[in-house]
């Protein structure tokens, strides 16, 4: 959202015209998100889904973590985050996203300068452009939200299986050492969160960030080489 800093003049507010397709897409996204949260935090539903997913994962990842659950949690977290990150990467136009962000930042800077200089003509012209800029920002945000239902389809089953797998650890293997305590029970809680949720987050979030940055680096490097190749051919 574009908001000029310390502006002495009130700009007319802009509410983008409703778009039925975008509205429906956002409603579906929010519905999927609420449903996913309900599944993840309702232990009965989560264990039921985890039991079904276990028919596939128990012989592999489950068997790996019978004596020590940490490798199973580690590999499951990497697999889940890896798949969701790859899908999000190929579904996102990072070049367009960067261009929109750069244009928006430059627009904000010029608009703030116009208010500081009390340049009413420039303020009027830029205010007229504000609608288009806000629409671009909204389109970018909506595009990111559209990916959420797809990634949730991957995250929820894996997450449910982790919870179901940890609930079956009752022979002492559920007691592990973690960064925030010497020994914890994976099925114990810290506030509303199970310890296995916190451990999963500690494993998966850094891995997801690193993988996302690596994929973007490779994509931008490839795009740069394509531009350089096109320029060299044009110069010949």
Instruction: Give residue 70's pLDDT.
Output: 81
Instruction: Give the tens place of pLDDT for each residue, 109-163.
Output: 888 888 888 887 877 778 878 777 777 777 776 767 777 778 888 888 888 888 8
Statement to judge: residues 109 and 216 lie in one domain: no
Distances (CA, A) of 200 to 29, 36, 95, 99, 221: 24, 17, 31, 34, 31
Instruction: Give the tens place of pLDDT for each residue, 36-53.
Output: 777 777 778 888 888 898
Instruction: Give residue 8's pLDDT.
Output: 44
Statement to judge: residues 190 and 235 lie in one domain: yes
Evaluate if residue 14 carries a pLDDT over 50. Answer: no
Statement to judge: residues 60 and 135 lie in one domain: no
Higher-pLDDT residue of 109, 67: 109
Statement to judge: residues 88 and 118 lie in one domain: no
What is the domain extent for residue 119?
93-145
CA distance 89 to 99: 17
Evaluate if residue 175 carries a pLDDT over 60. Answer: yes
The pair of structure tokens assigned to 169 is 């650890």
Q: Which of 124, 145, 166 is the last residue of a domain?
A: 145
Any idea which of 22-26, 33-37, 100-104, 166-170 has the lowest mean pLDDT? 22-26
| Closest to 164 (Cα-Cα) out of 191, 184, 187 | 187
Statement to judge: residues 127 and 206 lie in one domain: no
Q: Which of 145, 174, 189 is the last residue of a domain?
A: 145
Asked if residue 115 is part of any domain, the answer here is: yes
Statement to judge: residues 69 and 178 lie in one domain: yes
Statement to judge: residues 48 and 103 lie in one domain: no
């Amino acid at each position: 959202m574009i908001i000029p800093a310390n502006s002495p003049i009130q700009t007319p507010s802009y509410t983008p015209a409703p778009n039925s397709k975008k509205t429906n897409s956002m409603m579906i996204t929010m519905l999927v998100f609420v449903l996913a949260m309900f599944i993840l935090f309702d232990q009965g539903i989560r264990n039921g889904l985890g039991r079904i997913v276990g028919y596939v994962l128990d012989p592999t990842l489950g068997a790996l973590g019978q004596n020590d659950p940490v490798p199973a949690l580690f590999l499951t977290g990497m697999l889940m985050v890896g798949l969701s990150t790859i899908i999000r990467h190929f579904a996102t136009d990072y070049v367009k996203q960067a261009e929109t962000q750069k244009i928006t930042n430059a627009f904000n800077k010029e608009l703030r300068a116009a208010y500081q200089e009390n340049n009413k003509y420039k303020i009027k012209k830029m205010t007229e452009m504000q609608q288009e800029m806000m629409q671009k920002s909204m389109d970018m945000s909506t595009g990111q939200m559209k990916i959420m239902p797809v990634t949730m389809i991957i995250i929820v089953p894996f997450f449910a299986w982790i919870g179901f797998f940890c609930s079956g650890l009752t022979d002492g293997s559920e007691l592990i050492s973690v960064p925030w305590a010497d020994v914890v029970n994976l099925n114990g809680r810290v506030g509303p969160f199970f310890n296995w949720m916190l451990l999963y987050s500690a494993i998966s979030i850094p891995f997801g960030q690193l993988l996302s940055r690596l994929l973007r680096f490779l994509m931008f490097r490839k795009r740069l080489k394509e531009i350089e190749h096109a320029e060299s051919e044009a110069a010949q």
